Amino acid sequence: MSSPDRPLFPRATRFWRRTTPVLALALSLVLLGACSVEPLYGSRTGKARGGGAAAIEIAPIKDRVGHIVRNHLIDALTPRGQPAHPDYRLTLSVEQHKTPILIQLDDHATRFNLTLRARFSLADRDGAVVYWDSARATGSFNVVESGFATVSAERDAAEEAARVLSEEILTLILLYLRR
């Protein structure tokens, strides 16, 4: 009689226990080698094409929310400071709109959506616009009895929407530069 704890084919079991991890590793290396994923911030050889994202000068902007978007873009694109000889110049404008989304019976709004929309253009050294697009981000905030709390909530919603907007702009620009 055979014991249920003992495998029927002990040699085959030992063989597969040893070779399965090796086969899985070899298969994963083959699949990764066939992958066409490239880094977004650089190239496979480690050299950026024509300066890439680090060679973008970001033009100043007027309003407070625009400054927040610009500062996030500077931190992401040129963390070592503005380039001395930029290949591109990024110009953007940001519009801000508040829309009531929760209105009480007495026509008093208690919740707002804050939408930021940016139009931006990327110009080369000669000033010719090579890429332009728009991006949008939305945040929301509550209106409460305390005026200070409402202003603070609106400011926080604007700052978060500005951060999201800058990330979207950054993604669009980096995708354009990878072409």
Mean pLDDT of 1-13: 63
Q: Looking at residue 50, what is its pLDDT?
A: 43
Among 75, 52, 25, which residue's Cα sits nearest to residue 179?
52
Q: Looking at residue 7, what is its pLDDT?
A: 61
Domain boundaries, the chain: 7-37, 51-177
Predicted TM-score (pTM) of this structure: 0.71
Sign of the C-alpha dihedral computed for residues 94, 73, 166 and 159 taken in this order: negative
Average pLDDT for the chain? 84
The distance in angstroms from the start CA to the end CA of the chain is 69
Mean pLDDT of 81-105: 89
Are 64 and 90 within 8 A, CB to CB?
no
Residue, of 64 and 8, whose pLDDT is higher: 64
3-class state of residue 39 by DSSP: coil
pLDDT tens track for 12-43: 677 777 788 888 888 887 777 666 656 555 54
**CA distances from residue 77 to 50, 88, 89, 127, 158 in whole angstroms, order as listed:** 14, 12, 12, 20, 21
User: Does the structure show a pLDDT above 80 at 10?
Assistant: no
Are 111 and 102 within 8 A, CB to CB?
yes
DSSP 80: T
Q: Looking at residue 8, what is its pLDDT?
A: 65
Mean pLDDT of 97-105: 88
Mean pLDDT of 93-104: 91
CATH number for the region 51-177 comes to 3.30.160.150
HSE-CB at 163 with a 13 A cutoff on CA atoms is: 6
Token duo for residue 29 = 């290396």
